[in-house]
Amino acid sequence: MGMLERFNDIVKSNINAVLDKLENPAKMIDQYLRDLTEDLAEVKKETAGVMAEEARTKRLVEENQKEVAKYDELARRALQAGNEEDARVLIAKKQQLVTAGESLQVTYQTAKTNAEKMRQMHDKLVNDISSLEARRSAVKAKLAVAKTQEKVNEVGNASARAAGAQSAFDRMEAKADRMLDEANAMSELNEQPVDDAKRIEEKYAAAGNDASVAEELEKMKKELGL
| pLDDT tens per residue across span 69-96 | 999 999 999 999 999 999 999 999 999 9
* Res. 12 pLDDT band, cuts 50 70 90: low
**pLDDT at 134 exceeding the cut of 50:** yes
Q: Are 79 and 21 in contact (CB under 8 A)?
A: no
Nearest to 111 by CA among 41, 56, 46, 62: 56
* Res. 107 pLDDT band, cuts 50 70 90: very high
* Res. 120 pLDDT band, cuts 50 70 90: confident
**pLDDT at 60 exceeding the cut of 90:** yes
**pLDDT at 141 exceeding the cut of 60:** yes
**What pTM did the predictor assign?**
0.48
- In the prediction, which pLDDT does 7 show? 53
Average pLDDT over residues 29-39: 79
